[in-house]
Amino acid sequence: MKKAIAFWGILMKDMKTYYLKPPNISWGIIFPVSWTLMFFLRSSIEVDIRGILPGVMALSILFGTTSMLAVTITFERRSRSFERLLLAPISLKLLMLAKTSGAIFFGLVNAFIPVLFASFFISLQGIQWLPLFFAVLLIAVTSTFLGLFIAVAVNEVFEAQTFSNFFRFPMMFLCGLFIPVQALPLFLQPVSFVLPLTYGVDILKNAINGDGFMSFGISLPILLGFGLVLFFLSTRNIQKKWIY
C-alpha cells in the first residue's frame, strides 16, 4: 500500500508539473498536425490520411516521450530535486517506473490525437484496435525507456535534446516509415531490425492498413523485449552513476 501511494504521488506530481502544462498539451496537438501537413506538402496532390496514420502516430509518440522524459529527469538532476526521490524509502525500480509512467501516458495520449483528427476526415472502419493499442503502448514504453537511457547518459538539458536526436533521426528514416524496410539498401536492413520502432511501426501498419511484413506474434514480444532491456540497462546505469 505504501509503495502504491509513493508510486501514485510521483506520477501525479509529474503530471501536474510537466505533462499537463499548457505548452506540453499544445505540443501534443501541434506535432501531429505539422507531420500531417508535411506529408501533404510532400505529396502535393492529396494526402492518403490512412496511409500516413501509422507514421504520424509513431513519430508523435517517439518525439513526445523521449523529449519529455530525458529533459525532465535531467532538469530534476540539475536542480537536485531528483535526490529527494533517490532518498525516499522506495526501490530504484519502482521509482523509475513511477517516473516513466507519466511519459508513457503522455505518449499514449499523443498517439491518439492523430487518430482523433483522422476520424473527422476518413472512416476508421477495419482498424484492428486491440493490436493497435498494444503497439501504441509498447512504442510509448520503449521510447520512454530510451528517453530514460538518454537522461542517465547526460548531465545537461541541452545534451539530452542533442543526444535524443542522435537516436531519433536514424530511427525515423530506417524503421520503415518513409521507405519500406525491404526497399532499403541491403547493408542498412540489419540496422532496421535492431531498432525498436521498426517493430512498432510494423504492428501499426498491420493494424491500420494490413500492410505490415511481420506478424503480431513476432513484433509484439520483440518490442516488449526492447522495453525490458532498456529499462534494466537504465536502472543499472542509474545505480552505477548516481548512487556511486
Partner 1 sequence: MVEVTNLCKKFNSFEAVRGVSFSIQKGEIFGFLGPNGAGKTTTINMMTGLTLPSSGNIKIAGFDGIREIKKVQGNIGIVPDESNLYDELSGRDNLMFCASLYGMEKAKREVRTQMLLKQFGLDQTGKKLFKHFSKGMKRKLTIAAGIIHEPKILFLDEPTTGIDVESARQIRQLIQDLNAQGCTIFLTTHYIEEAERLCDRIGFIVDGQMVALGNLDELMGEVQKEHQMIFTFEQGTHSLEKSMSQSFPELSVYRINEHSIRISSDEKISLMPIMKFLEQEKVLPREARIMKPSLEDVFIKITGIGLDKMKKEKEGKKK
Classify residue 124 by its DSSP letter: -
Interface residue with partner 1 among 41, 87, 130, 186 (CB under 8 A) is: 87
Q: Please identify, among the stretches 22-30, 58-66, 79-87, 153-161, the one whose residues bind partner 1 according to the rule CB under 8 A.
A: 79-87
**By CB under 8 A, is residue 90 in contact with partner 1?**
yes
**By CB under 8 A, is residue 130 in contact with partner 1?**
no
**By CB under 8 A, is residue 86 in contact with partner 1?**
yes
Is the CB of residue 10 less than 8 Å from the CB of residue 92?
Answer: no
Least distance in angstroms from the C-beta of 13 to partner 1: 5
Q: Alpha-carbon torsion 128, 115, 118, 143, what sign?
A: negative
Q: Please identify, among the stretches 58-66, 73-81, 137-145, 156-164, the one whose residues bind partner 1 according to the rule CB under 8 A.
A: 73-81
Q: Where are the alpha helices (DSSP H) in 44-156?
A: 49-78, 81-86, 92-119, 129-153
User: How big is the site for partner 1, counted in residues (CB under 8 A)?
Assistant: 26
Closest to 27 in 3D by CA, of 2, 61, 50: 61
Interface residue with partner 1 among 73, 85, 174, 220 (CB under 8 A) is: 85
Distances in Å between the Cα of 106 and the Cα atoms of 117, 175, 238, 244 are 17, 22, 23, 31
- Residues in the site for partner 1, rule: CB under 8 A? 1-3, 5-6, 8-10, 13, 16-17, 21, 79-81, 83-91, 243-244
